Structure formats: structure tokens, C-alpha cells
Amino acid sequence: MKKKANAEKFENRVRFNWGYHDAAQAVRQGWDNPAHNFGFAQHGPLAGLTGLKDLLARHFDRTYAQGWQAGYHDAMDGTYANDSSEAWNVALSLGLVSV
């Protein structure tokens, strides 16, 4: 069995995409608030999130967290269309993620 540190890692684009769609699911389920910890576990390093800034500061995977933020905003403003390509390109152009 491989240790996590030695395990094959997924590309940034893939991890961004996961975060993007996880956030949209959190919004659809009504978990998009501090009472539901924005859809994350109520215990551990992400317990007690008070907002998106907390997620960006505390999530171990910055690329996933950037995707989550983008998906959250798209779902909240009604522009989520089950495709993270545009959000990825914006984050890439702003230097928030890398290839």
C-alpha cells in the first residue's frame, strides 16, 4: 500500500473541477452556510468554517479550494452549467491556479 505522500497526484485541473462541482452540490443541498459547515465535515481541520475565506485559508488543497469558491459563486448567481472550463480559465489568468 502506498503512503499518501508517495501516491500519484491528480492534475490541478482535475482537482479544481472536483471543487467546482462539490460546491455546486453543496448549494443545491442547502449546505452553503456556516450552520452546515459549507458541506464539509463538522470535525477536523475544516470544522467551524465561517465563510469562503476560511475555506481558502484552511483547506490543504489550494487548487481544490479555488475550484470550490468558483463553483459556489457560479451556483449562487445561477451561472453554473456543469462545466468548470470558464472558471478554470479565469482562475488561471488571475494566477490563482497553475497548470
Residue 75 is inside which H or E element, if any?
helix 62-76
71 by Cβ neighbours in 10 Å (0-12 / 13-18 / 19+) ranks as buried
Task: Name the residue ranges covered by the structural domains of the chain.
Answer: 10-93
The predicted-structure confidence for 48-88, as pLDDT tens digits, reads as follows: 999 888 999 999 999 999 999 999 999 999 999 999 999 99
Q: What are phi and psi of 41, to 5 degrees?
A: -55, 145
The predicted-structure confidence for 17-58, as pLDDT tens digits, reads as follows: 999 999 999 999 999 899 999 999 999 999 999 988 899 999
Q: What are phi and psi of 31, to 5 degrees?
A: -95, 10
- The total number of residues shown for the chain amounts to 99
Q: What nine digits make up the cell of 10? A: 491528480
Q: Are 61 and 9 in contact (CB under 8 A)?
A: no
